Amino acid sequence: MGREAKEALFEQFARLGKALGSAKRVELVDVLAQGERSVDALAQVTGVNLTTVSAHLQALRRAHLVTTRREATRIYYRLAGPAVAELYLALLRAAEQSLPELPDAAEAYLGPDDVEEIGREELWHRAEQGTVTVIDVRPAEEYASGHLPGAVSIPLSQLADRLSELPAGTEVVAYCRGPYCALSYAAVRLLREHGLPTRRLADGILQWRAADLPVE
């Protein structure tokens, strides 16, 4: 019953906690949950110095939360397995349940809470009936690695130029990575300014997957 053996065992679990103990690393996990990505793609999307991103990725790899694959001169990182995505989801849920500071931080990033939402089940039913147009506003790369059935890929950066592709009659639902992804918020605001009735999926592809709904 060595105390040091016990400590060593719990230290193993703590390694994962430590790895998730930095905002930048959590952000990296958030992006990697969408699919694998190269180091400089991650540096771009997070706006962090390349060397710093590399250092954080090493930390995640030492904790075995991510693994790598080499392709030519690029190294692609991805989550080590489904349990890691579930750990991340559990982290989000725990924060939502317990952290009183979270709503303010979310509003400061996502903007005022003026965007109407739609739940998974309702969207699922309306999509089956064809009474709604679902758009995926993530970068095309993320759409390619898995998206909602029937969703159209219109990355946020192209949305303003592709308004004509949206049918006038039906309601539009935009979604992106998850509940704290700013892309769909911006998309909804943009479309509403153009007079299109739009809502956003309350959470994103990650939770959709976790709920065992189909993905293409």
Partner DNA sequence: AGGATATTCTATTTATCATTGGAATACTGT
Partner DNA sequence: ACAGTATTCCAATGATAAATAGAATATCCT
- Active site (catalytic) residues: 176
DSSP letter, residue 137: -
For residue 108, how far is the Cα from the chain centroid? Answer: 18
8 A C-beta contact, residue 188 and residue 114: no
In the complex with its own copies, the residue whose CB is nearer, 24 or 192, is 24
By the 10 Å C-beta count (0-12 exposed, 13-18 middle, 19+ buried), 75 is classed as: middle
Residue 56: name its binding partner from DNA, its own copies, none (Cβ under 5 to 8 Å by kind): DNA
In the complex with its own copies, the residue whose CB is nearer, 4 or 161, is 4
In the complex with DNA, the residue whose CB is nearer, 87 or 213, is 87
Residue 209: name its binding partner from DNA, its own copies, none (Cβ under 5 to 8 Å by kind): none
Residue 52: name its binding partner from DNA, its own copies, none (Cβ under 5 to 8 Å by kind): DNA
Rg (CA), the chain: 19
Amino acid at site 49: N
Q: Where on the chain is the footprint of DNA (CB under 7 A)?
A: 18, 21-22, 24-25, 38-40, 48-52, 54-59, 68, 70, 72-76
Q: Where on the chain is the footprint of its own copies (CB under 8 A)?
A: 1-3, 5-27, 30, 47, 63-65, 80-84, 86-87, 89-102, 105-106, 108-109, 180, 182, 186
Residue 44: name its binding partner from its own copies, DNA, none (Cβ under 5 to 8 Å by kind): none
Smallest gap from Cβ 215 to its own copies, in A, equals 21
Residue 171 bridge partners (DSSP) = 132
Joined tokens for residue 152: 């159209």
In the complex with DNA, the residue whose CB is nearer, 48 or 85, is 48
Smallest gap from Cβ 150 to its own copies, in A, equals 29
What lies within 8 Å, CB to CB, of 122 at 6+ separation is none
Smallest gap from Cβ 102 to DNA, in A, equals 18
Residue 202: name its binding partner from DNA, its own copies, none (Cβ under 5 to 8 Å by kind): none
In the complex with its own copies, the residue whose CB is nearer, 86 or 113, is 86
Query: What b/e sequence results for 122-149 when a residue is b if at least 16 CB atoms lie within 10 Å of its CB, and e otherwise?
Result: ebbebbeeeebbbbbbbbeebbeeebbe
To 10 degrees, what angle do helices 3-19 and 50-62 make? 140
